[in-house]
Structure 1
Amino acid sequence: MNAPAQPRFTLERQRQIVAALDKLLPAGCVLFNEEDTRPYECDGLSAYRQLPMVVALPQNEAQVIDILKTCRDLQVPIVPRGAGTGLSGGAMPIADGVVVSTAKFNKIIKLDPYARTAIVQPGVRNLAISEASAPHGLYYAPDPSSQIACTIGGNVAENSGGVHCLKYGLTVHNVLRVRMITIDGDVVELGGGALDAPGLDLLAVFIGSEGMLGIVTEVTVKLVPKPQLARVIMASFDDVVKGGDAVANVIAAGIIPAGLEMMDKTSSRMVEPFVKAGYDTDAAAILLCESDGMPEEVEEEIARMTEVLKASGATAIAVSQNEAERLKFWSGRKNAFPAAGRISPDYYCMDGTIPRKHLAQVLVRITEMESKYGLRCANVFHAGDGNLHPLILFDANQPGEFERAEAFGADILELCVEVGGTITGEHGVGIEKINSMCVQFSPAEREAFFSVKRAFDTAFLLNPDKAIPSLHRCAEYGKMHVKRGQLKFAELERF
């Protein structure tokens, strides 16, 4: 699937940009031949692809500043890029733009075990921070499934989470300071080394802004002590409604597990032959509930969660007896996305968030949608915080299947909004969900988003046409969605 049509560049324009960037960067750091730019044509959402005009690979902050000033003066759009593991098309290039990759910013500048902080460049891998901190008994808590490859700069852009974000929070809760460069080449530091910083809290605005406000050059993250013990419960349920209700019951009991994840039968069956984690492949749903901390508190919490799960209708319960078994239980959840390739040529990973009390209701509705669209869906959830990751299975070689998968996904996101949730959790909006933003936010709210962007990027050159839909786009999207004889967003027709 190609990207939506975009304005193309002329060879003369490309030569002008390459010549300007060649003056700023070392040899080999400006890419423009197709065979060199092809690896940058998409992020993890590979259904949408677009070759960039130019790719720039700066090696230091001064070069980033020069690139931004030059692109501003030449009115060239810029797409910042980390490792390209994002799943919403946020790093997809613009045809007449420059991709600025932070891959060469891969140094851990300072690790302070006493302050429990690390200052890192944006190209440092998420897992590398924990690996460097391990000798001090510390680690970096946010753990996306792609943590072996994703970078901290990309995590900041998307406000990434992970299976332990229920207890330890998202990226925004674990970053103290960001050093970034604006489109005008100004160096701005948001946040600070302390728990609070003077002035407006622009750090929280910047984290999750998907590369639309500036380019990160340095991040200060919080480190947390590695728990003395961690154990995980694997509970099986013969009904997805019981499994969904069990999640709400655990939280209602006043328990905040380190992780609380849910997988349906389709998910466990596709991953179990790969990881051999001991999943009950006949169960309609499996919950993974982890407790960590001091041995005494872990044992108490495991006992309390076991009691709640049994009362909620669990048909089988297993508790990890050692660290190797705990990691094996988690391995299935961590490998659920790639394991989809075992049962389907392609999959479309959605990302929405709902109130926990509606988990069961939403699971039932998604099952009904499978019949509506004639496609299977494997459900993998950060159940504890209501973050859904339905994997819609399809075959891109079959005409019309990807379009049905897109419509299926949009329907799921509308369902999330309907039950009081939101269209995203940790994957961002990018290009994938830009139409769905029209479902959730009013014209006035979207204009407020644009006002924030203007404050940082008046020329709208940083990752333009991503994340925030225009009034015109929403009007067109509304015209496409007629239900029960009525147009959605009919109020937009008067504009």
Structure 2
Amino acid sequence: MNILYDERVDGALPSVDRAALLHALHQRVPDLPLLHRPEELQPYECDGLSAYRTTPMLVALPERLEQVAALLKLCHEWGVPVVARGAGTGLSGGALPLDKGILLVMARFKQILEIDPAARIARVQPGVRNLAISQAAAPYGLYYAPDPSSQIACSIGGNVAENAGGVHCLKYGLTVHNVLKVDMLTIEGEPMTLGSEALDSPGFDLLALFTGSEGMLGIITEVTVKLLPKPPVAKVLLASFDSVEQAGRAVAEIIAAGIIPGGLEMMDNLAIRAAEDFIHAGYPVHAQAILLCELDGVQADVHDDCQRVHAVLSAAGATEVRLARDEAERMRFWAGRKNAFPAVGRLSPDYYCMDGTIPRRALPGVLKGIQALADAYALRVANVFHAGDGNMHPLILFDANKPGELQRAEALGGKILELCVAMGGSITGEHGVGREKINQMCAQFSHDELTLFHAVKAAFDPKRLLNPGKNIPTLQRCAEFGAMHIHQGQLPFPELERF
């Protein structure tokens, strides 16, 4: 599957004697849990992008940072690639292993080290679940704002690696806006701290550079996050529309009115019906699209904002606008949205979840374009997305058992991402590039930009052992993909071509 996997990655990696490496690890780190039998390795063949599988050479399950540092030092000496993995909920193949590398699973680092209500921060290990941070902070009236739909399972280390978002990121920001400090280990096993607990830290903003780097620059060992006071009041409006284009225009009009909702989510009819059948959230199943708009803050402000949003939605063509009657109904509305992915999974044997971002003004046109592409490829697409910040999640339904459908789904996904780029957007908003979108990186970035990305990677990881073959395509690959031109026929960093 060339779109998701470049055979040059594993094919060009140096061969390592597996038995000799296993022996060396046992000698160097005798108490490090290692999996090496086929039946032990099989559960780690994939992450959330489960259609694509690779069996790792070895799986390491460290419990102490000294074990992680020792493993990294040995892998650096031996030239063995390392792929970090957290909870395995990623959706871009970023944590897919290599058959000539070690899968470093950080899931056992799951301690909440400190909750400081005065400073409004939490110090946590990378394996801590996203939702567990808010649960630990709740007794102090605080919470952690970024809330991916997988927050019950996904780990904070993976959230930092992918710069995860969530349904409330419009008002409260992505992971990068809510992390103060990251402690990490380099590929040489050396500790490094990026950022600080202060409002600012000296030097270049390496924390922002590291956030979203998909395990290519270092291994996360600790994260310090901001905690926010829980809003005293939160209300949700549900608006129904006769077309997705109308709903898309309503999103832009809400923001243009100077209102920044806590969350602003959109679902089309296919997603509405799936979620309603699964969760019974009370969605209008005959609507072609719905918007969920949450407004939070103090009582007086929320009351006024609800009235203003109601007026904007009605003027934008909403056929019905409902205010959640109580907290239970508000939670049902959100449960339907947050369970949309598994709900859509009940409609088809397989689906392919995309993750493009566009300017809000382009929403109606892109939705129309997605439908035209879906018709051209004879596949159904359910649209579920963070409408307020233009982060789209088209879910392409297909059956991998039918010849050619997987390839059509991949091709359609690529075209949707290229449409997002053409409209001034990006190929990812929160899921990352991983292996899934590596060809579309060629469509979004120029020769010079990709050269700079490779230089940044080389500064942190000169041997390119951390998560190789992900995120940044080689210039040769882009030339083959036909999306860019190689400057004067020369490839900078010739050694990169091993990946």
TM-score of Structure 1 vs Structure 2, range by shorter chain? over 0.9
Structure 1 residue 7: Cα displacement: 3.4
CA–CA distance in structure 1, aligned partners of residues 13 and 460 of structure 2: 26
Q: Separation in 2 of the partners of 1:155 and 1:25?
A: 28
Q: Which of 464, 480, 484 is residue 489 of structure 1 equivalent to?
A: 484
The counterpart of 2:203, out of the listed 189, 199, 202, is: 199
- Within 5 Å, give how 1:75-224 maps onto structure 2: 75-224=79-228
C-alpha distance after superposition, 1:272-299 (max 9, x if no partner):
1111111111111100000011111111
- In 1, Cα distance between equivalents of 2:380 and 2:171: 32
Alignment equivalent of 2:409, drawn from 383, 405, 409: 405
Partner of 1:44: 48
Q: Distance in 2 between matches of 1:47 and 1:310?
A: 42
* Structure 1 unmatched runs, 5+: 479-487
| CA distance in 2: counterparts of 1:35 and 1:9, whole angstroms | 24
Equivalent residues in 2 for 1:204-283, closer than 5 Å: 204-283=208-287
The CA distance in 2 between the partners of 1:119 and 1:84, in whole Å, is 22
Q: Choose the corresponding residue for 2:388, options 364, 384, 387.
A: 384
Aligned-pair CA distance for 1:119:
0.4
Query: Which residue among 304, 313, 327 is the counterpart of 1:300?
Result: 304
SS of equivalent to 1:436: helix
Query: 1:333 is matched by which residue type in structure 2?
Result: R
Counterpart contact for 2:135–2:143, Cα < 8 Å: yes
Relative to structure 1, is the Cα distance of residues 468 and 343 closer, same or farther in structure 2, using a 3 angstrom cutoff? Answer: same
Report the Cα offset of residue 62 of structure 1. Answer: 1.3
| In structure 1, distance between residues paired with 2:476 and 2:280 | 50
Inter-partner Cα distance in structure 1 for 2:237 and 2:289 = 14
Post-superposition shift, 1:241?
1.0
Secondary structure in 2 aligned to 1:435?
helix
Say if 2:351 is the partner of 1:351. Answer: no
Residue 459 of structure 2 corresponds to 455
Q: Secondary structure at the match of 1:360?
A: helix
SS in 2 for 1:425: coil
**CA 1:355–1:17: 2 relative to 1, 3 Å:** same
One-letter identity of the residue aligned with 1:184: E
CA distance in 1, matches of 2:98, 2:178: 31
Note if contact 2:112-2:124 (Cα within 8 Å) is conserved in structure 1.
yes
Q: 1:418 pairs with 398, 401, 422, which one?
A: 422
Deviation string 1:411-434 (CA, Å, 9 cap, x unpaired) is: 000000101001110000000000
Q: CA RMSD in A?
A: 1.6
Q: Is the 8 A contact 1:236 1:314 kept in 2?
A: yes
Q: Percentage identity across aligned positions? A: 60
**Shift of the alpha carbon at 1:475?**
1.1
User: Does the 8 Å contact 2:46/2:97 carry over to 1?
Assistant: yes
CA contact (8 A) 2:34 2:61 kept: yes
Match of 2:292 in 1: 288
Alpha-carbon distance, 1:11 to partner: 10
Amino acid at match of 1:205: L
Aligned-partner SS, 2:293: strand
Checking the alignment, whether the CA contact within 8 Å between 1:3 and 1:49 is kept in structure 2 is no
SS at match of 1:7: helix
> Following the alignment from structure 1 to structure 2, what is the Cα–Cα distance between the partners of residues 4 and 104?
31
Looking at structure 2, the residues matched to 385 and 127 of structure 1 have their Cα atoms a distance apart, in angstroms, of: 22
Q: Please name the residue that 2:34 is paired with.
A: 30
Are positions 1:431 and 2:435 aligned together? yes
In the alignment, is the contact (CA less than 8 A) between 1:7 and 1:96 conserved in 2? no
What TM-score do you get using the length of structure 2 for normalisation? 0.95
Structure-2 change in CA distance of 1:32 and 1:474 (3 Å): same
Code of the residue aligned with 1:136 in structure 2: it is Y
Q: Quick one: distance in 1 between partners of 2:170 and 2:375?
A: 32
Distance in 2 separating the partners of 1:493 and 1:267: 48
Q: C-alpha distance in 1, partners of 2:24/2:340?
A: 44
Residue 73 of structure 2 is aligned to residue 69 of structure 1: yes
Distance 2:319 2:201 in 1: 50
Q: Which has the higher contact order (CA 8 A, sep 6+)?
A: 2
C-alpha deviation, 1:161, in angstroms: 0.3
CA distance in 2 between partners of 1:149 and 1:173 (Å) = 21
Task: Say whether 1:321 aligns with 2:315.
Answer: no
Q: Which consecutive unaligned segments of at least 5 residues does structure 2 have? A: 491-499
Deviation at 1:160, TM superposition (A): 0.2
Task: Decide which of 477, 481, 492 is 1:473's aligned counterpart.
Answer: 477
2:439 aligned counterpart, secondary structure: coil
Q: Does 1:15 align with 2:19?
A: yes
Which residue does 2:495 correspond to in 1? none
Question: In 2, distance between residues paired with 1:490 and 1:450?
Answer: 17
AA at the equivalent of 1:87: L
SS of residue paired to 1:38: helix
Q: Report SS of the residue matched to 2:126.
A: coil
Report the Cα offset of residue 27 of structure 1.
5.0
Give the number of aligned pairs.
486
Could you tell me how far apart the structure 1 residues matched to 2:306 and 2:28 are? 57
User: Structure 2: how far apart are the matches of 1:63 and 1:469?
Assistant: 31
Normalised by the length of structure 1, the TM-score is 0.96
CA shift, 1:494, in A, is 4.0
**Conserved in 2, the CA contact under 8 Å of 1:9 and 1:95?**
no
Q: Is the 8 A contact 1:179 1:216 kept in 2?
A: yes
- What are the superposed Cα offsets for residues 147-199 of structure 1, whole Å, 9 maximum, x if unpaired? 00000000000000000000000000000000000011111000001110111
Distance apart, 1:24 and its partner CA: 4.4
C-alpha separation in 2, matches of 1:301 and 1:17 = 62
Shift of 1:243: 0.4
